[in-house]
Amino acid sequence: MKQTIKDLLQVVVQDQEVTVKGWVKNRRGSKNVAFVSMNDGSCANNIQIVVDFNNIPEETFKNITVGACLCVKGQLKKSEGQGQDREVVAESVEIYGLANDKYPFQPKFHSLEFIRDNAHLRSRTATFSSIFRIRHALAYAVHKYYNDNGFYYVHTPIITASDAEGAGEMFRVTTLDLHKLPKTETGEIDFKEDFFGRATNLTVSGQLEGELMAMGLGKIYTFGPTFRAENSNTTRHLAEFWMIEPEMAFYELEDNMDLAEDFVKYVIRYALDNCKEDLDILEKRLIEEEKNKKQEEKSPMNLIDKLKFVVENNFERITYTEAIDILLNSNYHKKKKFQYEVKWGVDLQSEHERYLVEKHFEKPVILTNYPKDIKSFYMKQNDDGKTVRAMDVLFPGIGEIIGGSQREENYEKLETRMKQMGVPTDELWWYLDTRRFGTAPHSGFGLGFERLVQFVTGMGNIRDVIPFPRFPKGAEF
């Protein structure tokens, strides 16, 4: 295989002939020699190229600016200079592509907003190449974890006729002519004429199909794109995001919590063990960012310490009812610092979640047994008639990172709940069949992959941890 800059930064230096291909990150020169930093994305560090104008015509070098792409042949030598232990002394320089001063990422400070506006080129910046290498490592760790623990990876459909979460926030998929929609006798759009002979959407979750697969394969997981048409312009919502959804036969809520905690700790530990260089770069960036923050907004821990803390400590496990009591008794509530109302039965807002995690417990929290009316139809009902065996995992700086539950396996209870909540039992006959034939206790959850990447990279905005974010009024690249 061809050698990358990562390889060249690791090999034993013995004046060997090497070829370096990559993009110019920086250049500085004196009268007779110039130094060029190059990066090819294989790792965070750049390699230094020494251009001696006795070997390489100064004319050639003059046009080479930051952003240009080069192929350099030369000798790998020990470096006497500061900041690197090796360098490539160029013997020939081939220009693949020049850039010019319009190239947006010159070697100076750029705001994240500016970089986001140039998202088509941002994989070339140090910050974003680190983020995307970490994203890759986390995705790999997800597959490794489940494979090593006896789970099967299943692919669930992206186009679906069902609304798994029952929230109705879906993107329609259609081949109908929007100017000439076919109508039924009663004047409604006739989806029988559509491609699939029914109304279809992009999926909001692979869970329902995941449950079907778990009822034969035992332990499965999905890892795919999901779509939500909610108009949420927040730093934690995307219209297209990736979700990991394990589903396990014979798992009850406690087993589900144990798995969720073990799983997230594993993938974070994987990043700590395998992405040191990239985490260091992001930590340095955050330390700079913190300097501009007010004292009360400053984070109590640096990035890497925060990740270690999560891996090394047990998550707090409490019920929704206990959480409401904590919030009601908090100084925050007494001083009316919460914007949204706190009382039993309301959905927790991110300010409440973050209070519990960041102020009260100061560590991740798993909340269980939520009121049934704020959760989906498929969650297992508790005997109290009021709550369901739901679990949300809440993380510092993020809020909800995982949502899941034990599933209602009793046919009658599930069907009754679906009818109460207006979920069409006739369309979901196939889902109900799992409860008709050999039903079993089972559980699962969904981890929002971008929220995980946000936590591990310390990035404040979810749009910065997916290469090409999709959000309301945003689908540029």
228 binds, among Mg ion, ligand 4AD, none (CB under 5 to 8 A by kind): ligand 4AD
Give yes or no for residue 403 binding Mg ion (CB under 5 A): yes
At closest approach, how far in Å is the CB of 290 from ligand 4AD?
25
When asked if residue 402 is in the footprint of ligand 4AD (CB under 6 A), the reply is yes
Could you say whether residue 446 binds ligand 4AD (CB under 6 A)?
A: yes
**Encoding tokens for residue 69?**
């792409």
- Choose which of 87, 163, 209, 245 interacts with ligand 4AD (CB under 6 A): 245
Residue 439 and residue 442: Cα distance in Å, rounded? 9
CB of 87 or CB of 408, closer to Mg ion? 408
Chosen from Mg ion, ligand 4AD, none, partner binding at 211 (C-beta under 5 to 8 Å by type): none
133 binding partner (options ligand 4AD, Mg ion, none; Cβ < 5 to 8 Å by kind): none
Binding span for ligand 4AD by CB under 6 A among 141-149, 155-163, 187-195, 235-243 = 235-243
Q: Which is nearer to ligand 4AD, 222 or 330 (CB)?
A: 222
Nearer to ligand 4AD, 223 or 445 (CB): 445
- C-alpha 44/C-alpha 340 separation (Å) is 43
Cβ-based burial of 338 (10 A; exposed 0-12, middle 13-18, buried ≥19): middle
| 396 interacts with ligand 4AD by CB under 6 A | no
Rounded alpha-carbon distances, angstroms, from residue 402 to 61, 367, 454: 52, 10, 13
Closest CB to ligand 4AD among 194 and 450? Answer: 450
Q: Which residues contact 129 (CB under 8 A, 6 or more apart)?
A: 39, 41, 44, 123
Alpha helices, DSSP H, located in 107-160: 112-117, 126-148
| Residue from 243, 275, 367, 391 binding ligand 4AD (CB under 6 A) | 243
Size of the site for ligand 4AD (CB under 6 A): 21
Interface with ligand 4AD by CB under 6 A: which range of 24-32, 130-138, 154-162, 444-452?
Answer: 444-452
Nearest-angstrom CA–CA distance, 249 and 227: 26
- Taken in order 162, 168, 172, 176, the sign of the CA dihedral is positive
Residue at 300: amino acid letter: P
Task: Check: CB of residue 212 under 8 Å from CB of residue 162.
Answer: no
Q: What is the arrangement of strands in the sheet containing 172-173, beginning at the earlier edge strand?
A: 159-160, 200-202, 172-173
Residue nearest to Mg ion (CB): 403
Residues that bind ligand 4AD (CB under 6 A): 164-165, 205, 207, 228, 237-238, 241, 243, 245, 400-404, 444-446, 448, 450-451
